[in-house]
Structure 1
Amino acid sequence: MSLDIAEVARQSGVPASTLRYYEEKGLIAALGRQGLRRVFDERVLERLALIALGRASGFSLDEIAAMFAADGGLQIDRDLLRARADELDRKIRQLTAMRDGLRHAAECSAPSHLECPTFRRILRAAASGAIGPRPKAAPRRRQVRAAAD
């Protein structure tokens, strides 16, 4: 059974513009056209679900494209999946620490957050990059010497 692009968009929740982009990137392929509309095999819905799962897991479109074999099957690198799972574990730990820190800060009875030892530990962890993104270094300013007259 074939579906036109509007039906694929309706069933998948993926906008037609994104479907065209995915086709351009080689992630999906139309069977052809019916009038002016692209027509897809109904199996495109499963492929779109795989793309959505990959995107939700943090894979780039290029990484996802590499998971599709030329014959339409899957060739997923299990080591890549393990590495991504490890990365997600690290992110979960960071997010859990941030959530717990925010809850503590909201409920802390210290007169000032800066007087709270737990909050100060959270600040040190944030400054070191242990929770949240590591702060970027400020760009160095070049010193310009004044020209002597």
Structure 2
Amino acid sequence: MDGIDIAEVAQRSGVPASTLRFYEEKRLIASIGRRGLRRLFDATVLERLALIAVGRAAGFSLDEIARMFAPDGRPRIDRKMLVAKAEELDRTIRRLNAMRDGLRHAAACPAPSHMECPTFRRILRAAASGAIGRRERARRPSRALVR
């Protein structure tokens, strides 16, 4: 039986064999047989692993990624889901940019202490309200922490 054994898939994809086995358990990939004790995969598994890596990097869960494949294994990516994830990333970027700018300002603020810096106080209020450190689900962008 032709195929790429799990060690070669791991080496070529950069995905550890343990993760490949886990992905197989989650039905994200499928082996095509065995050579001795080693799983064998079709060469198309490398492209599938690349799609999984892109999905993970974008913040999709493994369950969401699994839904991006048709039963026959071909990609079936919901464009609305991609747009929603892009919008979520935009909100995260805006929040992180505001945090970065606020921290830079607080670091250079001429106020005698950080507690007297209005920008740093806004950061503290945002943290106290729970606006910092959680994934935003709202459709509208959060207010910037700095002016």
1:19 aligns with 2:20: yes
86-95 vs 118-127, greater mean Cα deviation: 118-127
- Measured after TM superposition, the shift of residue 36 of structure 1 is 1.1
Distance 1:65 1:133 in 2: 25
Counterpart contact for 1:98–1:132, Cα < 8 Å: no
Aligned residue for 2:47?
Answer: 46
Aligned residue for 2:60?
Answer: 59
Aligned residue for 1:81?
Answer: 82
Question: What is the CA deviation profile of residues 93-147 of structure 1, one whole-angstrom value per residue up to 9, with x for unaligned ones?
Answer: 111111111111221121111111222222223333444338xxxxxxxxxxxxx
57-66 vs 100-109, greater mean Cα deviation: 100-109
Q: TM-score, normalised by structure 1?
A: 0.83
- Measured after TM superposition, the shift of residue 26 of structure 1 is 0.7
- Measured after TM superposition, the shift of residue 19 of structure 1 is 0.4
Distance 2:44 2:81 in 1: 25
Aligned residue for 1:104?
Answer: 105
The residue identity in structure 1 corresponding to 2:78 is: D
Distance 2:134 2:78 in 1: 27
Unaligned runs of 5+ in 1: 135-149
- Measured after TM superposition, the shift of residue 70 of structure 1 is 1.3
Counterpart contact for 1:4–1:40, Cα < 8 Å: yes
Aligned-CA RMSD value? 1.6
Distance 2:79 2:96 in 1: 25
Counterpart contact for 2:4–2:42, Cα < 8 Å: yes
State the aligned residue count: 134
Which structure has the greater CA radius of gyration?
1
Q: Give 3-state SS (helix, strand or coil) of 1:39's partner.
A: strand
The residue identity in structure 1 corresponding to 2:45 is: V
The residue identity in structure 1 corresponding to 2:6 is: I
Aligned residue for 1:10?
Answer: 11
Aligned residue for 2:69?
Answer: 68
Q: TM-score, normalised by structure 2?
A: 0.84
The residue identity in structure 2 corresponding to 1:113 is: H
